Amino acid sequence: MTRESDHVEINQDRNPFLFSGTKVSDGYAKMLITSVGMNTTWGEMMSTISQDTNVQTPIPAQLDKLTSSIGKTASTIVVDAIPEGLPLAVASTLAYLMKRMMANQAMVRRHSACETMGFATTICTDKTGTFRLNQMKITKFWLGKECIEGKSYVSIAANVLELLQQGVSNMTGSVYMSSASGLEFYSSPTEKAILSWAVLELNMDTEKVKQNCSVLHVEAFNSEKKRSGILIKKVEDDMVHAHWKGAAEMILKRCFHYYNFEGNVNSLNNWMKFDQIIQGKGASSLRCIAFAHEQFFELEDVNPNG
């Protein structure tokens, strides 16, 4: 709501409220609406912004001094007309600047914002000295011991592709089709990157995948285990499928097999090879996320500790 990138944890005891205008990036819950419209926190903020504080901004203050000076020294009708035209000219200029800023995807609610930025001499950034979009993107995808990029995605084995789509669609946010901007993805930056990659690169139909599965249990992301999980049952069979997603080094420790490029299951004998891949990507400042899958005959057979 404040446009800050940090996530706010909702706790049933200490912080149980969801604010209108915010987005749920992770987790599951039931919601009870207690206020709408101008009675919400967002509505109160908007009403405060729309109130006229009668605070004079720098440019009108300087124009008042200028027009007063011109008015005092004016001796002809032409010169006397200048003070009346100056505020209109400045207002027109600021309106034009607002349109240019909107074209650059910068929303300006008040003319005074353009004035304020015009007087700015120093911009404070973080230690890297850069501005970030708070967006992430999948740059590398490893299947077994092979790195797959670009057009190679279409050659992923059908059984592996199905498992990837099941895990991604049920654990990584939601997709919304907007008439204005097309597909929009809602989740944390990491999961939005995974979700957009699956939809745009793997041609995943989120709704179709979800319709073919029924969710039995969801384990939200745990900061200690560094993973999240879900239990599902497919419509066409009675098997219980467990999907895990999390930090690659944590997922790797609990795996005994892996899928190769052809979709065959191999024993994970040389796990050091995979650990070297993970360490190498971490050294390149890349965040490594792994997916794991296991199937069971009965729900009672599932190990809660993975």
CA atoms within 13 A on the CB side of 96: 6
Q: Which of 6, 126, 237, 238 is catalytic?
A: 126
- State yes or no: is 237 an active-site residue: no
| Start-to-end CA span in the chain (Å) | 36
Q: Let me know: does 265 contact 259? Beta carbons within 8 Å.
A: yes
Residue 188's nearest CA partner among 203, 208, 171, 167 is: 171
Q: Let me know: does 233 contact 189? Beta carbons within 8 Å.
A: no
Tokens at 294, concatenated: 């296991």
**Hunting for tokens 């009668």 — which residue is that?**
54
Q: Quote the CA–CA distance of 90 and 233 in Å, as a whole number.
A: 65
**Hunting for tokens 């209109």 — which residue is that?**
88
Residue 198's nearest CA partner among 291, 275, 293, 294 is: 291
Distances 274 to 70, 279, 283, 287 between C-alpha atoms, Å: 77, 9, 14, 15
Distances 60 to 63, 70, 71, 98 between C-alpha atoms, Å: 5, 15, 16, 17
68's CB contacts (< 8 A; 6+ apart) are 83
As a 3-state breakdown, the chain gives helix, strand, coil percent values, each rounded to 5, of 40, 20, 40
Q: Quote the CA–CA distance of 239 and 237 in Å, as a whole number.
A: 6
Which are the catalytic amino acids?
Answer: 126
